């Protein structure tokens, strides 16, 4: 049994896991974790929505946090002999429960004494909060041969105990985001993590090509290549095509990926003919309109919305004529956050059936759960999952 520690928008993380593994083998645990009924470790490097991957060790029924630490104090020394020689790096993260910092430090010092009694050197990683951040786990090598991060996850009256096996590598993401030779804030910067989620939601076969008809600076094609997929990017702007080409050349050189795995070309998504192969899946972000720091007057917003709506509508009409039935699409379209804690959506979303698509539903996430946003954003990205009829 595997455990996923979910990201900032847990339902979006669950959606990614559901499409990849199927709804029936997922069991959400609170709002921060999910059990995945699989013997195989989770593919952490390709999961944009999962912060940590872990293997389940045991379940303590009708337990509290003190009972969890008592269990660790008893069981940890029994497992030290399986480690290579050297000093152990050790940390504990708690999910779904509160713990005072001083109390938690006291428990960790008690475990440290127990480990040292067994003749093993140990360095504990002190918690700033209940859960260690992924960066702390990464930099302290807690998933390495001489590292342990133990997860204590509250599940109703029980606690699940798991051991972290992998975490998101923030340095890798940062390099793929900020280390690329070409970036352009004007066209919007799709986070690599979100690009991964979108590709996974498009559910490509291992031999698929990911088509991005609005490729911008090439983030989706980039992440597709790193997943072992082929990539095909087009954009209306020749400047963006030049940027994507430069970024993918950099990527292929850095990660030793064959340049034959991708192609880019200029094209208007509302009229272009992509000559799509049968093993193609589509992941893209349409025009989001100009960035906004506050919601503009209705007349101004209507202009932006109509422009975005026409582009998205024209694109889906155009590509529908070129797709085989059953092809999956994950398309990010704009949604505008209002002061009433709701969103204004594109009108074309009500006509998806007429455009030739079935909008797919998920068990563990609703449509509104698939809106990617940050607290200070007015323009959000609404992810729509489609299948060509």
pLDDT tens track for 139-170: 999 999 999 899 999 999 999 999 999 999 99
CATH no. for residue 368? 3.40.50.150
Q: Are residues 185 and 332 in the same domain?
A: yes
Provide the percentage of residues in the chain whose pLDDT is more than 70: 99
CATH no. for residue 163? 3.30.2130.30
> Per residue in 263-308, pLDDT tens?
999 999 999 999 888 789 999 999 998 777 778 888 888 888 999 9
Q: What long-range pairs does 34-43 form, CB within 8 A, spacing at least 24? A: 34/3, 34/4, 34/6, 35/1, 35/2, 35/3, 35/160, 36/1, 36/2, 36/3, 36/4, 37/1, 38/1, 38/2, 40/2, 41/2, 41/165, 41/166, 42/2, 42/4, 42/165, 42/166
Q: What is the pLDDT of residue 186?
A: 66
Residue 188 pLDDT > 70, yes or no?
A: no
Q: Are residues 185 and 330 in the same domain?
A: yes
Q: Are residues 127 and 197 in the same domain?
A: no
323-342 mean pLDDT: 91
- Taking alpha carbons only, the member of 156, 86, 93, 158 closest to residue 121 is 86
Q: Are residues 232 and 138 in the same domain?
A: no
86-99 mean pLDDT: 92
> Per residue in 192-249, pLDDT tens?
999 999 999 998 888 889 999 999 999 999 999 999 999 999 999 999 999 999 999 9
Q: Are residues 240 and 323 in the same domain?
A: yes
Residue 172 pLDDT > 70, yes or no?
A: yes
Q: Are residues 256 and 208 in the same domain?
A: yes
Q: Are residues 220 and 244 in the same domain?
A: yes
Q: Are residues 200 and 290 in the same domain?
A: yes
Domain stops at, among 168, 187, 216? 168
pTM for this predicted structure: 0.92
CA distance 40 to 289: 42
Q: Are residues 214 and 75 in the same domain?
A: no
Q: Are residues 86 and 176 in the same domain?
A: no
Task: Give the range of the structural domain holding residue 190, as residue numbers without chain letter.
Answer: 171-388
Q: Are residues 71 and 220 in the same domain?
A: no
Q: Are residues 12 and 24 in the same domain?
A: yes
| Number of domain units in the chain | 2
């Amino acid at each position: 049994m595997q455990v996923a520690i979910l990201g900032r928008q847990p339902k979006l993380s669950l959606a990614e896991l559901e499409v990849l593994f199927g709804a029936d083998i997922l069991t959400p645990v609170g709002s921060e974790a999910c059990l995945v009924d699989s013997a195989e470790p989770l593919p952490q490097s390709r999961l944009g929505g999962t912060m940590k991957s872990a293997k389940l060790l045991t379940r303590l029924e009708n337990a509290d946090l003190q009972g969890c630490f008592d269990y660790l104090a008893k069981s940890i020394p029994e497992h030290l002999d399986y480690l290579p020689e050297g000093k152990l790096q050790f940390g504990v993260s708690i999910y779904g429960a509160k713990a005072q910092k001083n109390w938690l430090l006291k428990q960790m010092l008690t475990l440290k004494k127990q480990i040292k009694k067994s003749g093993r050197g140990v360095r504990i990683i002190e918690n700033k909060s209940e859960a260690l951040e992924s960066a702390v786990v990464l930099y302290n090598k807690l998933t390495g041969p001489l590292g342990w991060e133990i997860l204590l996850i509250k599940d109703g009256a029980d606690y699940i105990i798991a051991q972290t096996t992998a975490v998101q590598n923030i340095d890798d993401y940062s390099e793929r985001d900020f280390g690329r030779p070409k970036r352009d804030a004007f066209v919007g910067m799709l986070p690599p993590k979100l690009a991964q989620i979108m590709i996974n939601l498009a559910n490509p076969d291992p031999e698929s090509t990911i088509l991005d008809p609005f490729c911008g600076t090439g983030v989706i094609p980039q992440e597709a290549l790193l997943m072992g997929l082929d990539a095909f990017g087009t954009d209306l702007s020749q400047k963006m095509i030049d940027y994507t080409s430069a970024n993918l050349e950099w990527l292929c050189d850095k990660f030793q990926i064959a340049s034959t795995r991708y192609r880019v070309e200029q094209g208007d998504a509302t009229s272009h003919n992509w000559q799509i192969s049968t093993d193609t899946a589509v992941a893209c972000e349409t025009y989001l309109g100009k960035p906004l720091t506050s919601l503009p007057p209705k007349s101004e917003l209507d202009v932006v919305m109509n422009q975005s709506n026409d582009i998205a509508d024209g694109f889906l009409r155009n590509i529908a004529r070129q797709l085989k039935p059953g092809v999956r699409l994950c398309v990010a379209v704009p949604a505008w956050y209002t002061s009433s804690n709701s969103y204004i959506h594109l009108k074309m979303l009500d006509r998806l059936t007429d455009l030739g698509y079935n909008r797919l539903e998920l068990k563990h996430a609703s449509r509104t759960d698939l809106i990617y946003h940050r607290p200070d954003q007015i323009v959000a990205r609404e992810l729509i999952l489609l299948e060509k009829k």
